[in-house]
Amino acid sequence: MRVLGIESTCDETAAAVVEADNAGRGKILSNAVLSQIAEHAAYGGVVPEIAARAHIDALDPLIRRALDEAGCTLADIDAVAAAAGPGLIGGVMIGLTMGKAIALAANKPFVAVNHLEGHALTPRLTDGVEFPYLLLLVSGGHSQLISVEGVGEYRRLGSTVDDALGEAFDKAAKLLGLPYPGGPQVEKAAALGDPDRFEFPRPMAGRRNPDFSFSGLKTAVRLEAERIAPLTDKDVCDLCASFQAAAVDVIVDRCRAALRLLAEKPPTALVAAGGVAANGAIRRGLARLCLESGLQLALPPVGLCSDNGAMIAWAGLERLRLGFVDGMDFAARPRWPLDSRQDPRWHGKA
């Protein structure tokens, strides 16, 4: 079974072909991704109109490239999957419309994929993780802990009450004068800094419910930076290191709280997904937690943590195997929680 996947929800344009054998093992045949970092760098963040226009220019050649690299044509594809949200509405509509058009022209089934579901199911593609597992989803727009109990069966245990972790990284980078995108720059500077120099708060630490809060941590960085200004290069590195250490402590503590909630039916693994899951310090912190908990840790390759077409193709393939397809009237959903209770398509099906 082969599926073409299309991703265009934010500032990466992507297309990929993924296949599964009779035993259900997945394989990425191609994964073409075009980042728009250069287009948005001057603005310090993603500009929706620029992103949408870039998707229009890039999507058609990327799809051709994905098919060529996979060594197949549309005749060899069993279905077309496209991210239908959540995300920037302009980009979502472009990818969704392209996916529908290809499926209609090639007479193939069409699958509308929740972008977050693509992240959630990636560890099944890369590591063959069995249900149920605990998902830590951390990106520029999301910080959630989710019990993944089946395809389309998602139970949100906790989420951020203010800023997402990726947003906090980016804002900390901006106030410290680091270039866009901020997350990788903070990690790079932190590697040269002293994580013990500044005592930053660990918001929500110790609380029973596994929610997140990063606004106070971000504010603490700003206040400390203003106190010691003007900043030297060493100051910036130490601030980044102390900020990152606090963020890792919060992530580990919140995952531990989620695992306590799942004690009666322990997950098979702890998995992390989303762009911030590429952060090395966070990956090491999760590894320590799993070592002490005796739990499997599944971390997708760094290249599959950020938005990509392979995760959309795989999520589409997983749904297609269960007989779930969507009509050409499926509308773009800029807001689309990954929660079974809020997705009427799954009621009585999964």
Cβ count within 10 A of residue 288: 12
pLDDT 10s digits, 177-212: 999 889 999 999 999 999 999 999 999 999 999 999
Whole-number Cα distances in Å, 92 to 57, 163, 184 = 14, 23, 25
pLDDT 10s digits, 141-185: 889 999 999 999 999 999 999 999 999 999 999 999 999 889 999
Cβ count within 10 A of residue 141: 18
Cα distance between residue 248 and residue 240, in whole Å: 12
- What is the CA 65 to chain-centroid distance, rounded? 23
Cα distance between residue 258 and residue 146, in whole Å: 9
Q: Is the pLDDT of residue 17 over 70?
A: yes
249-268 b/e (C-beta count within 10 Å ≥ 16 → b): ebbbbbbebbbebbeeeebe
- Tell me whether residue 83 is exposed, middle or buried, using C-beta atoms within 10 angstroms of its C-beta: 0 to 12, 13 to 18, 19 or more: buried
Question: What's residue 37's pLDDT?
Answer: 83
Question: What's residue 45's pLDDT?
Answer: 83
Annotated binding site: 115, 119, 137-141, 170, 183, 187, 279, 307
Q: Is the pLDDT of residue 219 over 60?
A: yes
- 131 SS3 class: coil
Question: What's residue 350's pLDDT?
Answer: 37
Q: Is the pLDDT of residue 41 over 90?
A: no
Phi, psi of 143 (to 5 degrees): -140, 105
CB 67 within 8 A of CB 4: yes
Q: Which domains does the chain have, with CATH numbers?
A: 2-121+303-322 (3.30.420.40), 131-300 (3.30.420.40)
Question: What DSSP designation does 34 have?
Answer: E
Q: What does pLDDT average to over the chain?
A: 94
Q: Is the pLDDT of residue 340 over 70?
A: no
Annotated binding site for Fe cation: 115, 119, 307
Question: What mean pLDDT is predicted for residues 128-149?
Answer: 95
Confidence grade of residue 347 (pLDDT, cut at 50, 70, 90): very low
CA atoms within 13 A on the CB side of 67: 16
Q: Give the list of residues 6+ apart from residue 39 with CB closer than 8 angstroms, or none.
A: 11, 47, 50, 51, 54
* Alpha helix positions (H), 5-88: 37-40, 48-70
pLDDT 10s digits, 280-304: 999 999 999 999 999 999 999 999 9
- What is the CA 175 to chain-centroid distance, rounded? 24
Q: Is the pLDDT of residue 346 over 80?
A: no
Q: Give the list of residues 6+ apart from residue 303 with CB closer than 8 angstroms, or none.
A: 31
Annotated binding site for substrate: 137-141, 170, 183, 187, 279
Q: Is the pLDDT of residue 133 over 60?
A: yes
